[in-house]
Every structure is written in C-alpha cells, then in structure tokens.
Structure 1
C-alpha cells in the first residue's frame, strides 16, 4: 500500500474502502512491530528498552512478542 492509496482512502465517501485501508494499515504496522522487536531482541535489547520505544509497558511487549507462536499468519487478501 502506498501513500496515494492511503490518501485516496481518506478522501473516499465509501466507508468500506476506508475500513479496508485501516485494516491493511493495522496489519502492516503489526508486521513492522514484529520485525523490529525481533531485531531488537537479537541485538540484545531488553524487554524494558523495547517497551520504552513502543511507549507500552514491559509486560505488554513481553506478552505480545515472547511466546513461541512463530511468525504470524497474514491474510493474502490485504494489499500490503
């Protein structure tokens, strides 16, 4: 999804199109968070340090990213 698509979705009168864009952006943000939290941990950052950067509690970031659930499964329907 590029900036033009986001701008078009913001300007549309069709709430369905706007909501689909919101969903795609949420999924993209989650993927970026997963990637960078994993990189931070690989480089030795503590859960507390990561939490500061994400502006959440250490417990929140640890709970979300520490389980051995493997990579998230993403829908093939979102244009990310």
Structure 2
C-alpha cells in the first residue's frame, strides 16, 4: 500500500473504501510487529524489553508472539 492510496482513502466520501484501508493498515501493522518481534527475539531481546518498546505488558507481547500464528497473519486478501 503506498502513501498516495492512504491519502486518497483518508479523503474519500465512500466509507467502504476508507474502512477497507483501515483493515489493510491494521494487517500491515501486524505484519511489521510480527517481523520486528521475531527479529528482536532472534537478537536476544527479552520479552520485557520488547514489551517496553511496544508500550504493552510483557504478558501481552509474550502471549501474542510466543507461538506460531499460522498463515492468517500473513494473508494478503485485504491488501489494497
């Protein structure tokens, strides 16, 4: 998703288009979080350190990222 498409979605009069963009952005943010948490763990960061960076509790980040999430987290079906 490029910045121009995000800007277009922010100014559209069609709420469906805007809502689809919100879904795509959520999925992109989830992908980025998964990637960087995995990288942080591979480099030896603790769950507490990762949680501090994400501004959540250690329990929250551990529960979300301590086991494989499956293909659902990496689907592209809602990408614009």
Task: State the TM-score, normalized to the length of structure 1.
Answer: 0.90
Matched, 1:24 2:17: no
Number of aligned residues: 79
More helix by share: 2
Residue of structure 2 equivalent to 1:40: 40
Q: Could you tell me how far apart the structure 1 residues matched to 2:59 and 2:43 are?
A: 20
Task: State the TM-score, normalized to the length of structure 2.
Answer: 0.90
How far residue 75 of structure 1 moved from its aligned partner, in angstroms, is 3.3
Gaps in structure 1 of 5+ consecutive residues? none
Distance 1:79 1:65, change over 3 A: same
How far residue 78 of structure 1 moved from its aligned partner, in angstroms, is 2.2
Q: Could you tell me how far apart the structure 2 residues matched to 1:3 and 1:64 are?
A: 28
How far residue 51 of structure 1 moved from its aligned partner, in angstroms, is 0.3
Residue of structure 1 equivalent to 2:57: 57
Q: Which has the higher contact order (CA 8 A, sep 6+)?
A: 2
Gaps in structure 2 of 5+ consecutive residues? none
